[in-house]
Amino acid sequence: MRCRNVSREIEHWVRMLTLVLITSWSVFGADNLLTPQEKAQGWILLFDGKSLNGWDSAGQPQNSGAAKQSTGPAQPGAAAAVGSNPRACSTPLGLAPVPSGASRWEVVDGLLVPCGEPAGYLTSKKDYKDFILDVDFRTGEDTNSGVFIRSPGGTGGYEVQIWKAQPQGYNTGSIVGAAKTDEDYKFIPDQWNHYEITAEGDHLVVVLNGTKTLDIHDSKYSNGRIRLQYQKFPIEFKNIKLKLVNH
């Protein structure tokens, strides 16, 4: 009788776990896709999981006279790009020609990853002013990377830091050159982490894995592009989504 009861209890918990998994999938959806709820709320998918459509590794407007993007410091206190044992490019996308000085990026199993040399950035081709940006990232314990918002002309902008050991103390969850966090916040190395970044007027809010790391007001940059930083491997991105904030 006891064995039968244990078996029923196991079956109950298996059913409950299955229900949770199904519910979670229906709420959050598959990678690099928008759920019906997100579409209804006005979310925009910035990375389709298959291509680099909408992105530019040269980090500057096309057909403009702007100088090539520098791989040096983009913000006060930022460290220069150094790279670190990069993975070799393995797809036609990663091996395709790029402008001189541009970094190389490719899509592997639905993930957006840099490859080869030099270190650098992947920049959205469109500008965004007021928005909520969602980004999933997976990185190593000591990787140097960040997510830039409002980068005017594809350079500068606010860098939401991923790196945990920035020399000037703008560590994970900080905005380099604008504000440091009040305490240490840690991403989980070698697992998927989530940034939610809100920019509305001069109000900037950073949330890492559900915990608010920064809530500040700063008016230095009011509009610009999204930039994904590759200064040290490994770093991977997926589920890059943006919702415009309308006034």
Task: Provide the 10 A C-beta neighbour count for residue 165.
Answer: 11
Q: Which pLDDT tens digit goes with each residue over 60-85?
A: 443 333 333 333 344 555 554 455 56
State the amino acid at position 148 in one-letter form: F
Q: Where are the domains of the chain?
A: 1-30, 31-244
Render the burial of 56-78: b for 16+ CB within 10 Å, e for the rest: bbbbbeeeeeeeebebeebbebb
Residue 154: per-residue pLDDT: 78
Residue 7 has pLDDT above 60, yes or no: no
Residue 69: per-residue pLDDT: 38
Instruction: Choose between 76 and 178: higher pLDDT.
Output: 178
CB contact set of 74 (below 8 Å; sequence gap of 6+): 148, 155, 156, 157, 159, 176
Q: Which pLDDT tens digit goes with each residue over 109-144?
A: 999 999 998 889 999 999 999 999 999 999 999 889
Res. 11 pLDDT band, cuts 50 70 90: low
**H-type helices in the chain, by residue range?**
2-28, 36-41, 92-95
How is residue 50 written in tokens?
Answer: 């298959």
State the amino acid at position 69 in one-letter form: Q
Residue 233: per-residue pLDDT: 85
**Homologous superfamily of domain range 31-244:** Exo-inulinase; domain 1 (2.60.120.560)
User: What does the pLDDT average to over 225-240?
Assistant: 94
Closest CA to 80 of 18, 167, 154, 160: 167
- In the chain, the percentage of residues whose pLDDT exceeds 70 is 77
Residue 22: per-residue pLDDT: 39
Helix (H) or strand (E) holding 193: strand 193-200
User: What does the pLDDT average to over 27-45?
Assistant: 90
Residues pairing with 147 in the sheet: 160, 228
